[in-house]
Structure 1
Amino acid sequence: MSNPVATTPVCSVVIPSYNCLAYLKQALISVEQQQVSNIEVIVVDDNSSDETWQWLQQQQISKPQLRSIKLSGNGPAYARNIAIQHAKAPLIAFLDADDTWLPGKLQRQINFHQAFPELSFSFTDYRHLGPNGEDRGTCFEFWPNYRHLVTQAKRYQIKHDAASSLFAENVVGTSTVMASRSALLDCFAFDEQLPSAEDWDLWLKLALSGPVAVANFCDCQYLMRDGSESSKSQLRIKAMHTIYQRYAPKVAKQSSQALTQAKARIATAEAELCNEEHQRLSAIIARLKALFLSPSRRRLIETLADTRNLMLLR
């Protein structure tokens, strides 16, 4: 990120940030380490109070490819949409301020998109890290429909059932995504009216509008910050129901099984919320619903664990 671009950048990196300066510095270092020169990096400061804006202005003096936008606290969906509108490149790569890319990620993804320009978007596997850097496993190894990719040869491939598989299991990490800017604009990008889960909504829109590619490279590190609130869980579940109703008719034409798997995932989220709110019996009922809809060893273990915890409380 040291040389100014004389031509249209090949890729615009979009990073929304809110009171995340310590992590943002590491995110930008990981972009620099990609060693891809012809890019622009757009950081959207969404009304931070931690001197993010001042730091960005100083960084732009020595890093001409870095652009900053100041907003008044409208949330990540609006922030990303503003950055997409301002982006100059035909490809958009998303990175959250508290995540980092591993070396080679950006060039591999650019190369694949340039070889297949009809792609609406692509995504990769990623690794979960705890607050102290502890390894909490990869995304794909957690989800049954994607677990088999972990052991395959490392490569990008077109996923022909993308809409139904992503409806069943939202495995897409935003910080792994590269998308066509024209495809994003055609589907109006992130839905700012959704209270949560606007990322899942966008991946489904894009998957229904054009080809999708997936790579089993673990090219991103995703920070899992503790301390989620039940109010946020409530908003996410509300949004999941809205998105289910929005896309179920189209997905049903591809896979009826994807509908039951999505229902099971929503029921699991409801069980987790019930546990957060100490509604133990309701949690078990939701677990049983999920287990009935989409049986799995993990769901059976979760149901038995919740049942055991309820019995111990009596």
Structure 2
Amino acid sequence: MAKLTVIIPFYQKEPGILGRALASVFAQEFKDFDVIVVDDESPYPADGDIVGLSREERARVRIIRQENAGPGGARNTGLDHVPAQTQFVAFLDSDDTWTPGHLAAAHAAMTGFSADCYFASITGGDEFYYHFGVADLERTEAVERLSDDPLLIEVPGLTQVMLKNWSFLHLSSMVIGRPLFERVRFDAALRLAAEDVLFFCDCVLAARRVVLGGAAGAVRGEGLNIFHGVDNDSPQFLRQQFNTWVALDRLESRFAERPAEVASLRSYKQTARRQALWSQARRLRHRKLPQFDMLARWAMRDPRILASAVELAVGKFSR
């Protein structure tokens, strides 16, 4: 059985995307892997993108079909079906690709430094402008170099650093060991929100050691994955912001004894409130009713959103 399992959640609306991701998987220098593709009730089925694989490659790909559960739910299904002999799990979004040395670098770093979690850097196009690489952390944070070539670092107080700005982290460049994939799961209810950040934090908290690699291990797709097709004017935007707030609130409970992390999380929670309220103000400007059901649900969990609404209204009228 393979030493490493690749998990790819799949929900796409056009052919060729999964085939491109799989091509980057089978181009890896590290060859001791198998692949689980979770077809999350995709409009375009996963089967169509594996016909171009060789017989040997197809034998290493397992497709699991399920009712739509969102990206977190799809990844959980993959984690629940990892073979007993697997030592590591690597995630790859179906619209992303890996650089050829990604798995080899991850395996070497994790075995060489007894790490349970590894993050490579990731690159992308213009739509990925907010992201930055692992090497950039050395300019602003205290880090410990474990290796110069390849660049490997460890970040003391990683949770505090990532909660200030987690834009150097991405699931497609993440690899975890058995102590994590046996016990940590995504909160599938938080689809289209911050379920990945919650997963990152839970893994970092549970890991013996986390190693970060400076080299790019993945290349991000350009918006082809329709998991992320929600903009500020979408009817789903309010739910997305509520789910983000819920994820941040859960993280705050995990870091209750760490004031710096709590301060960052409370700031993000207030941003989620404001973005949600502005989206409802835009609905009114377009002569649409606010989404009262979702707002009431939010207010039951978080009465502070009412105070935020008053603050925004006062600010608007004062101007």
Does the TM-score normalized on the shorter chain lie above 0.5?
yes
Instruction: Tell me the amino acid that sits aligned with residue 90 of structure 1.
Output: Q
Q: CA deviation at 1:56?
A: 3.3
- Matching residue of 2:295: none
Asked if residue 264 in structure 1 is aligned to residue 267 in structure 2, the reply is yes
Asked if residue 30 in structure 1 is aligned to residue 24 in structure 2, the reply is yes
In the alignment, the residues of structure 2 paired with residue 158 and residue 168 of structure 1 have an alpha-carbon distance, to the nearest angstrom, of 17
Q: CA deviation at 1:84?
A: 1.3
Contact 1:44 1:71 in 2 (8 A): yes
Which string of whole-angstrom CA distances, capped at 9 and with x for unpartnered residues, describes residues 46-98 of structure 1? 12232422443674734122221122222222211121122221100000000
In the alignment, the residues of structure 2 paired with residue 138 and residue 108 of structure 1 have an alpha-carbon distance, to the nearest angstrom, of 25
Instruction: Tell me the amino acid that sits aligned with residue 217 of structure 1.
Output: A
Q: Are residues 10 and 97 of structure 1, via their aligned partners in 2, closer, same or farther at CA, if it must alter by over 3 Å? A: same
Q: CA deviation at 1:194?
A: 2.7
Moved more, 98-107 or 193-202: 193-202
- Matching residue of 1:216: 214
- Matching residue of 2:178: 181
Query: How do residues 209-288 of structure 1 correspond to structure 2 at under 5 angstroms?
Result: 209-210=206-207, 211-225=209-223, 227-229=229-231, 230-253=234-257, 255-272=258-275, 279=282
Query: How do residues 9-48 of structure 1 correspond to structure 2 at under 5 angstroms?
Result: 9-19=2-12, 21-48=15-42
Gaps of 5+ in 1: 1-7, 281-309
Asked if residue 116 in structure 1 is aligned to residue 119 in structure 2, the reply is no
Asked if residue 79 in structure 1 is aligned to residue 66 in structure 2, the reply is no
SS of residue matched to 2:34: strand
Contact 2:9 2:74 in 1 (8 A): yes
In the alignment, the residues of structure 1 paired with residue 54 and residue 27 of structure 2 have an alpha-carbon distance, to the nearest angstrom, of 17
Query: How do residues 158-197 of structure 1 correspond to structure 2 at under 5 angstroms?
Result: 158-171=154-167, 172-187=169-184, 189-195=185-191, 196-197=193-194
In the alignment, the residues of structure 1 paired with residue 222 and residue 182 of structure 2 have an alpha-carbon distance, to the nearest angstrom, of 30
- Matching residue of 1:299: none
In the alignment, the residues of structure 2 paired with residue 165 and residue 124 of structure 1 have an alpha-carbon distance, to the nearest angstrom, of 16
SS of residue matched to 1:160: coil
In the alignment, the residues of structure 1 paired with residue 100 and residue 130 of structure 2 have an alpha-carbon distance, to the nearest angstrom, of 17
Moved more, 54-63 or 215-224: 54-63
Percent identical residues: 22
- Matching residue of 1:287: none
Q: CA deviation at 1:227?
A: 5.0
Q: CA deviation at 1:13?
A: 0.6
Q: CA deviation at 1:101?
A: 1.0
Query: How do residues 125-204 of structure 1 correspond to structure 2 at under 5 angstroms?
Result: 125-129=121-125, 134=126, 136-137=128-129, 139-140=131-132, 148=140, 155-171=151-167, 172-187=169-184, 189-195=185-191, 196-204=193-201
In the alignment, the residues of structure 2 paired with residue 142 and residue 38 of structure 1 have an alpha-carbon distance, to the nearest angstrom, of 26
In the alignment, the residues of structure 1 paired with residue 266 and residue 242 of structure 2 have an alpha-carbon distance, to the nearest angstrom, of 13
- Give me the TM-score of the superposition, normalised by structure 2: 0.72
Contact 1:121 1:178 in 2 (8 A): yes
Q: CA deviation at 1:15?
A: 0.5
Gaps of 5+ in 2: 284-315
In the alignment, the residues of structure 2 paired with residue 278 and residue 241 of structure 1 have an alpha-carbon distance, to the nearest angstrom, of 19
In the alignment, the residues of structure 1 paired with residue 80 and residue 160 of structure 2 have an alpha-carbon distance, to the nearest angstrom, of 29
Which string of whole-angstrom CA distances, capped at 9 and with x for unpartnered residues, describes residues 163-190 of structure 1? 2223332332110100113312223x11
Instruction: Tell me the amino acid that sits aligned with residue 263 of structure 1.
Output: R
Q: CA deviation at 1:135?
A: 7.1
